[in-house]
Chain A
Amino acid sequence: MIGSILTLTATSGIGFSVARSYRDRPKQIALLAQGLRLLRQEVEFAQVPLPLALSHVADLLPKPVNLLFRQMATNLEEQKNAGEAIDEAIVSFEKKLAMQKEDYEPLRTLGAVVATAHRTHLARELDTALIRLQSLEEIAETDRRKNEKVWQYLGVLVGVMIVIMMS
């Protein structure tokens, strides 16, 4: 009886965990895009230096995506160059967030140009990144609709099947 409960709990947990990552991914991409829109405002209107601009964005975003921006700002303050600061922040957060490798690509591309771009150029790069994030969000949303419920049920059903087979 205890074994059955443990099995059912474990498989359901796995199912819900995978379902949650499908559910969180589009939300986090949307938050990343919101962060870049805020960064665009800082660049265009306030002309605040990048470390401070990223800190301001981190202050305005909810968890956990704000932590990514905070880490980028910290890395820049430690005198890493912009590309390194963004790459290292992504590496330290990609396992903690639901976004997939390709979702960070617009941010990485931005990291390669942000330090040397002039205001108008950087605004264009931010717009391009936002368009790419929008399409990634749509893909993530389609995946969520297809897979979220499936994984929730699958976890429970596999657990039930194992319990039936064991009994």
Chain B
Amino acid sequence: MNAGNSSEKVVDCLNVLRILCPPPLYQLFCQIPETVLQQLEEVRFRQHAPLQLCLAQEDCFLNERGKVVKDWREGLVVSEDWLQRMVQSATQSSLYAMEEDIKRGFLTLPGGHRLGIAGRAVLSETGSLRSIRNITSLALRIAKSHIGASRVLAPYISISKHRVPSLLLISPPQCGKTTLLRDLARACSQGEYQLPAQKVVVVDERSELAGIVEGMRTFDLGPRTDVLDGCPKAEGMMLAIRSLSPQVLVTDEIGRMEDGQAILEAAYAGVTVFATAHAASLEEWRMRPSMRPLFEQQAFSRYAVISRRRGPGTLEAVYDANGKTLIVPR
């Protein structure tokens, strides 16, 4: 996967940490070498536990002098006060305005970075999750743009001059699906890699694909792309088909029954869908009850399985609509 501008990534990474962390903690992050920051994928803040840094190939801890250490016993312990301050920074002291996001377990920070939340679940009278209180863990996932990342997929989808086939990217979490999907949307919108230039609509439920902040896109999604920001996937796809006449619909992390139904609607409306789903293999994915109809009705013409065996975004296998292996890259 080609890396973008490294110094920009470091600046972007420090910027989100500045927004999130109390000043003394941010100062420690500033002391981390640039080479480490470039590889930083996740930062895990757990109350009364050492601060964990997840890099592309390994994980380590930050100590109280701003040094990156391997031994968790030397890691800086995150205090309750710091964690609560981070929650306040992330929510702009407005938990009431973020209730829907918190219910889904994460907040999206400026720049499209995702902040996962763990704490005490608050249930409604019917037993469904209403909110999370007493937040004790925060998982910051650094969003990165890799222009050119989707080049590896192009040979499998540039099969017609007029239309691209629907594609599902399958991988466990943190293998680079969203990054690939983002670049695929951009490439399709620009008509790169011999793909026909298409009108693209991105249904960005978690504001992660476009990273829209105050109306401005953080990530380049190409010149023919419209973004439905913060819109639930299923509703957004239906809305896009009705009103935006897309040639390609792009959405992240499908999994619910209604997502499947909306994708089938799109497939029968002649719209190409690029989507991602969590699973380790095609077999695993098609066993999910909500996803099985998609496979049986051949909603997708291509499946690409991704791993991080040789770094995030490693293409493991490509299948056709029937699950027949097209290629097994080394």
Binding site for B on A (CB under 8 A): 43, 47-51, 53, 76, 79, 81-82, 85, 114-119, 122
Contacts and interface: CB of A to CB of B under 8 A. Distances in A.
Contact of A50 (B84, B92, B131, B133): B92
A115 B131 contact: no
Nearest to B96: A119
A49 B92 contact: yes
B88 A49 contact: no
Contacts, number: 52
B97 A81 contact: no
Nearest to A48: B97
A79 B89 CA distance: 7
26 contacts: A47-B96, A49-B93, A49-B94, A49-B97, A50-B93, A50-B94, A50-B97, A51-B92, A51-B93, A53-B94, A81-B84, A81-B85, A82-B88, A82-B93, A115-B87, A115-B91, A115-B94, A115-B95, A116-B88, A116-B95, A116-B133, A117-B95, A118-B96, A118-B99, A118-B131, A119-B96
Interface string B133-169: 1000000000000000000000000000000000000
Interface residue SS majority, chain B: helix
B131 A114 contact: no
Contacts of A85: 93
A43 B94 CA distance: 9
Contacts of A76: 92-93
B95 to A, nearest CB: 6
Given A115-B93, A115-B94, 4 more contacts: A47-B96, A76-B93, A116-B87, A122-B96
A79 B85 CA distance: 9
Nearest to A52: B92
Interface string B10-28: 0000000001000000000
Contact of A47 (B84, B88, B97, B131): B97
A81 B99 contact: no
B192 to A, nearest CB: 38
Contacts of B91: 49, 115
A81 B86 CA distance: 9
Contacts of A119: 96, 99
A43 B89 contact: no
Interface residues of B, number: 16
A110 B133 CA distance: 18
Nearest to A77: B92
Nearest to A51: B92
Contacts of B93: 49-51, 76, 81-82, 85, 114-115
A79 B22 CA distance: 9
Contacts of B99: 118-119
A118 B97 CA distance: 8
Interface in B64-107: 84-85, 87-89, 91-97, 99
A79 B92 CA distance: 8
Nearest to A81: B88
Contacts of A53: 94
Contacts of A79: 19, 89
Contacts of B87: 115-116
Interface in B88-131: 88-89, 91-97, 99, 131
A116 B85 CA distance: 11
A122 B96 CA distance: 8
A122 B324 CA distance: 56
A82 B87 CA distance: 11
A126 to B, nearest CB: 10
A1 B131 CA distance: 75
A118 B89 contact: no
A37 to B, nearest CB: 16
A48 B131 CA distance: 18
Nearest to B100: A47
Interface string B254-271: 000000000000000000
A52 to B, nearest CB: 8
A79 B19 CA distance: 8
Contacts of B85: 81
Task: State the 10 A-B residue pairs at the shortest beta-carbon distance, nearest first.
Answer: A82-B93, A115-B93, A49-B92, A49-B94, A119-B96, A50-B94, A47-B97, A115-B88, A50-B93, A81-B88
B30 to A, nearest CB: 16
Contacts of A114: 93
